[in-house]
Amino acid sequence: MMRLANLLDFVCILLWAGLSGNLFILASYVPVREYAGPNFFDAWTYWDNVDNTTWGNVTYVDRQTATSSRLAYVNDAGNAIIKVDNTTLISPAPLVNRNSVRITSQDTYGVGNLIVIDVRHIPYGCSTWPSFWTLGTEIEWPNSGEIDIIEGINMLTHNQMALHTIGGCFQAANPGQTGQTIEGDCSKPQGCLVAETKPNSWGQAFAQAGGGVWALQLDVSGIYIWFWSRPDVPPGISSATNTSTLDTTTWGMPSASYPASGCNITQFFTPQQLVIDITLCGVWLLSQTNRAGVPSIYASTCQTPTMSCVADNIIGSGSPAYDNAFWEISWIRAYTNNPAAAPPPPQTTSSLSTQAPALPTSTTTLFVTGSREPTSVIEPTQTPSAAQSTNAFSSTTRLLSIPLCLAIGTLVF
Ligand SMILES: *[C@@H]1O[C@H](CO)[C@@H](O)[C@H](O)[C@H]1NC(C)=O
Ligand SMILES: *[C@@H]1O[C@H](CO)[C@@H](O)[C@H](O)[C@H]1NC(C)=O
Ligand SMILES: *[C@@H]1O[C@H](CO)[C@@H](O)[C@H](O)[C@H]1NC(C)=O
Ligand SMILES: *[C@@H]1O[C@H](CO)[C@@H](O)[C@H](O)[C@H]1NC(C)=O
Ligand SMILES: *[C@@H]1O[C@H](CO)[C@@H](O)[C@H](O)[C@H]1NC(C)=O
């Protein structure tokens, strides 16, 4: 009896999946790209300029400099290291900048994508302000949205997550999250900010626990961010390879939730590029919160000889001040829940497409939501609406398939 019931379940799931157009739609995400191992740095653009967006006292170096001065490399464990220069002596001067790295993914990810990052070490220490975030770059900031997944400053002890948008996007009340909401209006300077409440999400404690994993789900129903310290990483993720599918429905409550009832995701977020950076201090726009170099913010977690962010950290040898100012990242994987809505692979044989991960045959035609280079930029409005209509179709067919399965069930038993 039990076996028959299981069989029926299976048949119904197949029927359900078949009716909705493909087998992967059932809360299952299929991989579309992996950034890992020796090829980790292949599909990113280096900023190659001073920090001209958050005005920290850093110069983000180009790829060649980052590689030759070992500010961006893959270590013996096969993990990507992205760090601040801690070997150059910097003397006091009216304007000082220390070398660091900011990289932006060449691919973009929109509604229907899931991004998972496995991190071993987050940059921390006084004056240090790292972030792993996403940015819609189709139109001027913040018109196409920004999502801060990992962000913190100085000696803060927990991670902070946020969305940044133009006016009209809010975090809904009682969103279903474990984190603590600090600000609900995503158009405020600090964004709709949620503080992590789980332990070991930042600094030395994070690293000592073996690091952890974050996941960002960009869905029509909302934007969701999960964090797990190493011992709590769900088995579906810790045992996954770069070809495994993931099922978000088994992950429990996210750390930060932004349901679509408070913010129309497709309206406020165009496809996003991934960004990894480390800036230092930053005192421009004193009215903005969250700046490592703002005296009151600096003093809240750092006690250094002159209480000056620049003088006590950036100036000098760089060591030990920046010995912990490095990312160590095992991998970043991107997934889609809607292979049917993903655009076809680029027609041109770009370096990007040749570096695409080896995927199961059924998914080789997938290619995230379009690459910005060289010729396959996807119109910002195209992908979300395509995803939306496919989702609407599949939920209708799913609803129809339920009575069908119930009817078959009644006939069988
Ligand atoms: C900031 O630097 C980037 C990267 O070099 C450049 O593309 C952009 O135009 C600069 N923005 C401003 C406002 O100078
Ligand atoms: C630090 O950088 C900011 C922004 O570029 C600049 O205004 C400030 O003068 C710099 N401080 C020093 C000491 O260089
Ligand atoms: C959300 O925004 C999209 C794109 O702007 C629009 O087509 C859709 O009607 C909006 N949905 C709601 C519920 O307002
Ligand atoms: C710089 O930082 C690295 C770790 O990020 C550390 O191994 C090294 O000892 C530090 N100091 C110098 C002078 O390289
Ligand atoms: C996927 O993982 C396998 C096994 O670890 C590895 O050989 C392969 O290079 C990976 N693919 C990519 C694109 O990194």
Confidence (pLDDT) at 296: 83
DSSP 288: S
Q: Whose CA is nearest to atom 14 of ligand 4?
A: 87
Q: Is the CB of 300 under 6 A from ligand 3?
A: no
CA distance 40 to 78: 9
Q: How far is CA 330 from its chain centroid?
A: 14
Task: Give residue ranges with CB within 6 A of ligand 1.
Answer: 47-49, 52
Confidence (pLDDT) at 352: 31
Q: Whose CA is nearest to atom 13 of ligand 2?
A: 95
CA distance 54 to 356: 32
Retrieve residue 360's tokens: 């199961």
CB-based burial label for 306 (10 Å; 0-12, 13-18, 19+): exposed
**Which residues of the chain are modeled with pLDDT < 50?**
1-26, 286-287, 344-413
Confidence (pLDDT) at 289: 60
Question: pLDDT, tens digit, for every residue of 205-217?
Answer: 999 999 999 999 9
Q: What is the dihedral of CA 130, 133, 138, 144, to 10 degrees?
A: -110
The alpha-helical segments, DSSP class H, found in 26-128 are 63-68
CA 174 / ligand 5 centre spacing (Å): 40
Phi, psi of 409 (to 5 degrees): -55, -45
Confidence (pLDDT) at 27: 66
Tell me the one-letter amino acid at 84. V
The alpha-helical segments, DSSP class H, found in 134-251 are 203-208, 235-238
Retrieve residue 106's tokens: 């060449």
Q: Is 291 helix (H, G, I), strand (E, B) or coil?
A: coil
CA distance 91 to 190: 33
CA distance 289 to 16: 49
Retrieve residue 408's tokens: 């078959």
CA-based R_g, the chain, Å: 22
Confidence (pLDDT) at 171: 98
Q: At which residue do the structure tokens 């179709």 appear?
A: 393
Pocket test for ligand 2, best of 98, 283, 285, 288 (most atoms within 8 A of CB): 283
What count of other Cβ atoms lies within 10 Å of the Cβ of residue 92? 10
Q: Is the CB of 95 under 6 A from ligand 2?
A: yes
Angle at 100 between CA 97 and CA 102, to 5 degrees: 120
Q: Is 353 helix (H, G, I), strand (E, B) or coil?
A: helix
Q: Whose CA is nearest to atom 2 of ligand 2?
A: 57
Q: What is the pTM of this model?
A: 0.80
Confidence (pLDDT) at 55: 87
Question: pLDDT, tens digit, for every residue of 174-226?
Answer: 999 999 999 999 999 889 999 999 999 999 999 999 999 999 999 999 999 99
Q: At which residue do the structure tokens 């209509």 appear?
A: 389
Q: Which atom of ligand 5 has the smallest separation from the CA of 37? A: 14
Confidence (pLDDT) at 284: 58
Which neighbouring-strand residues pair with 258? 223
DSSP 311: I
CA 358 / ligand 5 centre spacing (Å): 7
Of the candidates 105, 107, 96, 124, the residue with the CA atom closest to the CA atom of residue 278: 124
Longest dimension (CA), the chain: 84
Exposure pattern of 51-68 as b/e (b: 16+ CB <10 Å)? bebbbbbbbbbeeebbee
Q: How far is CA 65 from its chain centroid?
A: 25
Contact assessment for residue 16 and residue 236, using Cβ atoms and an 8 Å cutoff: no
Output helix, strand, coil percentages for the chain, rounded to the nearest 5.
25, 30, 50
